[in-house]
Amino acid sequence: MFYHLLKHVLLGPLLRLLFRPRIEGLENIPEEGAAIVAGNHLSFSDHFLMPAILRRRITFLAKAEYFTGPGLKGRLTAAFFRSAGQIPVDRSGKDAGQAALREGLGVLAKGELLGIYPEGTRSHDGRLYKGKVGVAAMALGAGVPVVPCAMLGTFEIQPPGQTLPKIRRVTIRFGAPLEFSRYEGMEGERAVLRAVTDEIMYAILNLSGQEYVDRYAAEVKAEEEEERKKARRAKR
């Protein structure tokens, strides 16, 4: 109930008024049945802008940190994500991937839309990074199509570290659904999962026009943070 209240009364109309999103390819979202919407992830605003313009409800696998933050802000954020039906996923530990896979397949088994950011984290510099194979495992395991999505302009309105977004127009672009029935029964083969994931990321790249980096975003972030620490130590 709260999801629909947010979407149609409280938040959705305000977002559409402020950001006036250009919507391209909305007809590529199936009107019924399970499907995965796989998009680039440039901003915290992505979590709200895409659901605001979709006709159907979409459930995202959200990082567990959104549900465990400290203080009043943390409690409000957790309450918001829970009320909106988003699913917390612990990304730490060796079983994190399997937990996310189970949760995602559960959503798809109910014939619903599942939203996934294959990069696994927000881009810290606006580039598109290598996708993790969980999206392919879910698509093959559930036998559902994947709709690629590109958010354009959200990095500029709210880059990492910026609390409030700038009020500027954004574009949300959906590509033609990708189907992978040719790989039926092969979701256990790593090479197949990599090939499917790369095909999905290539479709997102064509929609977004971003610079592509064939490395995981989390690895690049960690390396850059380590370089900053070394630079600070060198100045002391």
pLDDT values of the chain reduced to their tens digit, one per residue, 236 residues: 666 666 666 677 888 888 899 999 999 999 999 999 999 999 988 888 888 889 899 998 877 777 777 787 677 777 777 766 677 776 665 566 787 888 899 999 999 999 999 998 899 999 999 999 999 999 999 999 999 999 999 999 998 888 888 999 999 999 999 999 999 989 899 999 999 999 999 999 999 999 999 999 999 999 999 998 888 888 77
Q: Pull the structure tokens for residue 175.
A: 């590509």
User: What DSSP string describes the chain?
Assistant: -HHHHIIIIISHHHHHHHH--EEE-GGGS-SSS-EEEEE----TTHHHHHHHH-SS-EEEEEEGGGGS--HHHHHHHHHHHHHTT-EEE--SSTTHHHHHHHHHHHHHHTT-EEEE-TTSS--SSS-EEPPPTHHHHHHHHHT--EEEEEEESHHHHS-TT-SS------EEEE-PPB--GGGTT-TT-HHHHHHHHHHHHHHHHHHH-PPEESS-HHHHHHHHHHHHHHHHHHH-
Q: Residue 154 has what pLDDT? A: 95
Q: Residue 2 has what pLDDT? A: 60
Q: Residue 83 has what pLDDT? A: 67
